[in-house]
Structure 1
Amino acid sequence: MRRRALALLPFAALPARAQGIPPAPRPLVLAEDASLRLGELFENAGDAGQAVIGAAPAPGRRMMLDASQLSMIARRFNLAWRPLSGEERSIVERPGRPLPREEVEALLREDLVRLGMDPDAELELPGFAPPSVPLGTLPQAMLESSSYDAATRRFATTLVVAADGMASWRGRLTGRALSTVPVVIATRRLAVGDIVGPADVREIRLRAERVRPGTAQRAEEVAGRQLRRPIAANLPYVLVDLTAPTIIAKNQLVLMVLDGPGLAMTAQGRALEAAARGDRVPVMNLGSRSVVEAEAIGPGRVRVLPGAVPVQIARRN
């Protein structure tokens, strides 16, 4: 029994050696809260691991501790560690997420509308970067000392953001309220000759300075019209590029209708030009070979007005 107990002594000493592993700084540290603790920075810090070294970086930020700073921290807390070279360092990062810009703009818009800003104006915030807040928190944002000049459309305010695990953030916001106008844009790419359907249009607002004259501003100005030029998705429709849809194609066989008091006649003809509803189009009567001007009244149908005279068609040599 004594010999067996002696044989186990080396194994019983292993935990004591494990407790003697010297401390060492971690190359990368992820700080969990606003305070940085010794045990987060140094491995095997022992009983002093819960001691607070100082403030951690702000959420979403990082800081670097070089060899001399790490050595000073080790001496302060009596850790048996010395840098082997001046290249040793620790990077301390604080996870975070940026406060959604949309939330800031919604809060700012509500405040500025109360001060007289156009509700449809676009907010210009040059240089603004939303602050970061700790992960898993519900931040609270508020505005202080907001002002708005209706003549210049310039505004200024102070944004205050508070959340658990961070000091309150305060930042000055300045910018302009830009006038906007309604425009109609294409929801998909359309080719020449396509007829714009209700699903092909979307109404949005754009800065007035970016909208060219003649841009469609209402969906009813576009839907049902035919394109003279192709258009890419998300581009605005221009009225000059739209026309009434063609209901008769060039050289198409049509039914010629002649209406009058006590008179109703029909004949077969050939349209010599394309035409939209209500357009005048020259049509050749296939029976008499004469050409008259008629009105396009429907797909494949034209109306010859009483008293219509033959149209002279120039022949090419």
Structure 2
Amino acid sequence: MAHKTTCISYGRSLRRFPHWSDGKLTQTINQNGLNSGRATFKALIGFGLLCVCAVQLPGWADSRAIQSIDSIRDTVAEFLQASIPVSTTSTSQTHTDSTVSVGKLDPRLTLDRCQIPLKAFLPAGSRLYGKTTVGVRCGGHKPWTVYVPANIVSLGKYLIAKRSLQRGQILHLEDVEYAQQDTSILPRNHTTEADDVVGMELKHQLSPGRTVTANMLTRPDTIKKGQQVTIYSRSGGLLVSSVGIAMANGAEGARVKVKNPSSRRIIEGIVRADGNVDTGR
């Protein structure tokens, strides 16, 4: 059986023992046999000399298999790349490009090599944007779990004011433009579609470059209080129309009260896009 012997000498210089120098010490031990070798070993201790021989046999070394740090980090990167939602829109102008950076782990970390594929998961409270944490779990014979820091930078397009815009102004396409930024630091209700902005009314003034958010917008009033409107109702399968007076302002889709000047009845209906009211009955 193959083995490796390593000898280290300790003690005073062999120059004081010339009869044991130049390999004669080893020769003496080999010739005198085990018992003589023991006596010689004791003599060496007495003289302050010691030769330590370490014999390394197959299987004696630590054979524990360690999970590599790179494999854990690769599992996190693959998980995040597959989990980050991809923005798809009709205009294809809000496409999001995401970059994943996996944090470092302590190089002294020693985890048993997993016998089955590692599984990554998103712990409670973690998110798929900005600075986050991903768990990596080994469910094998010797299970373990480790948590890895990561950072997700998602560059997405959003709408900003192209020029100074006034309160009450109805937005047109030329009033806004697209900008690009890390979406993790944008307001949650930022707008990404021009169709959701054009035709809306601003609730307050916007300076150039300001992000256009959904809570800044409202539908403009389609009818005004006191305006004469046509009231549409259904009776026995027939569509009946009558004249009414709006009792409040109302945007498309809003419910408003309308007074019939002839009967003086007050009914409620939904404002239509054409500025009339449908009672739905």
User: Shorter chain as normaliser: what TM range?
Assistant: 0.3 to 0.5
The alignment's TM-score, normalised by the length of structure 2, stands at 0.44
Higher relative contact order (CA 8 A, sep 6+): 2
- State the TM-score, normalizing by the size of structure 1: 0.39
Question: Which structure: larger Rg?
Answer: 2
